[in-house]
Each structure stands twice: as structure tokens, then as C-alpha cells.
Amino acid sequence: MRRVSSRQNDTVRSFRALAKEPDSSGARLLLDGAHLVHEALATGLRFEIAAVASSRLDDGTEIRQLAETLERRGVDVVVASDAVFDAMSPVRTPSGIVAIVAREPSSAARICQQTGGLTLATVDVQDPGNLGALVRVAEAGGVTGMLVCTAGRSGAAHPFSWRALRGSMGSALRMPLAGGITASEAVDSLHAAGGRVVAAVPRDGRDPDDVDWSGQIGLVVGGEGPGLDEPLLAACDELVTVPMAPQVESLNVAAAGAILIYAARRQRK
């Protein structure tokens, strides 16, 4: 394994640049931590490079074993001093291993056109942890693809940021996932592909178990704060509301999304 001893090294700059500005298409991903690196290996993604902290290379450690596995598979693995590794890792308490991997980008059109698919569209989800959790539950619940949309508001989380990737626990490496589309474009694309679109609202929608989730469906959930706007709701075919006790106004978007995805899954099994 070659060694990196300067923060000005081009390898260090590559990691820092991707942490600051995620790849918009999701073609290159920054992974932090042994779990995500293991998931990328299991998924068969191509590794551009991996880096390990020198202090984590004692014999028998998980990081050392993982680094050796990567090297045996032909991955360029570099060893960095702890001070340099701290500059390469985006987290406050570095995990000891980071990697840049290549992922096949998904297009919104291809996701929407999956015959009989269940597509999840998120709109202006601001917290990357919530967005990552939605990707995780989407994969677990049988969603066939996911669109990360905006409705013109600022601050929406990037689906391929390192924080969202960590929140997905590896699901973003496998789930067909696309961003760069507005909420109205997503609804139009789902309709054009012959699907019905169900929008989640905090009140006055149908019970999840009363919705017909069969066939080609798009489920739209709004992010924290104002939720989905009226023009978008008017363009959807049906509204759904998670039943709640009267004193509870709303649920976290990841929790609400999980309930709705599994309501759909019960019918679609």
C-alpha cells in the first residue's frame, strides 16, 4: 500500500472535493466507514480508490482485513497518517477507512417507466439522515426506484452526499435513485408512464389500507416544514394520510414514508 503524508496530495484533494460537492448524477460516491465499504464490495461496485488511517492497521483489525481484501481485488489502497486521514474523512470522528466508488447512474425517466413499479418521490426533504433512512426503507419495502425532487425551495438534501449515503446504510448503492428533477416533472413523468400518483398529506387523505396500491404507482412525500403545495396535490390522483391520535400533528417524513411503503407492500406481495 502506498503512503500519503501531505494534505496537499491530489488524492486528499479528491476526497475533500467530493465531500464538499457530491456528484450530481451519483456516478461517483464518497463512502465513509467499514460498513459502507463492505456493502460496496458485496454490491460489486468499482472502487476508484480507498484510504485507511495508519493507526487502524494493527494485525487482526477489521480495517486491516478490509484493506487487504480491497488490495487483493486490485483496488488502489493508500495509507494516510491520522492527521492526513482526518482531512480525507468528512466525519468529525473518522472511522478509519474511506473510499470513492463508481455507481451506474439512474435516470428519472427509466425509474418512472418500470412496468408495474412502485416509485417513491421525495420533495424537499432537508435532513440528509431522513433522506437516507427513506432510501433504506424504500429498498426494504420493495420500492423499485426513487426520485429525489425539489419544489423550488432551497436546502433540500443531496441524495448522494456522504451524510445521506451513511443514512441509507448501503441501500443507495443498490436502489435506482435519481435527483435533479422537480416535483411537478416527477408527477408528469409518472402519469406519462401510465402510473397513478398518491400524495401523502397530514390530514383529510384516505387511510393507507383503503388505497389501491396495485399496478404502477408513484408515492409522493413532502419534506420537513410546509409539505406538498396545493398545485402539486391537485395534479396527483389520490391523497393518503397516516392515521394519528388527535394530539399528534405530524410524523417524521421517514416514519410516515415507512408506514405508507409497507401499506403498499402488504397489497403488492
**Tens digits of residue pLDDT in 9-66:** 999 999 999 999 999 999 999 999 999 999 999 999 999 999 999 999 887 789 999 9
Residues whose CB is less than 8 angstroms from the CB of residue 54 and which lie 6 or more positions away in sequence, other chains included: 3, 79, 80, 81, 82, 85
Q: What pLDDT was estimated at residue 42? A: 96
For residue 215, is it left (φ>0), alpha (ψ between -120 and 50) or beta?
A: left
Residue 177 near residue 212 (C-beta atoms within 8 A): no
pLDDT of residue 226: 73
Residue 154 has a pLDDT of: 65
Cα–Cα distances (Å) from 29 to 24, 109, 252, 262, 265, in that order, read: 10, 22, 27, 29, 29
- Other C-beta atoms lying within 10 Å of the C-beta of residue 215: 13
Residues of the chain with pLDDT under 50: none
What's residue 1's pLDDT? 76
Q: How many residues does the chain have?
A: 269
CB burial class (10 A; 0-12, 13-18, 19+) of residue 23? middle
Q: Provide the pLDDT for residue 218.
A: 98
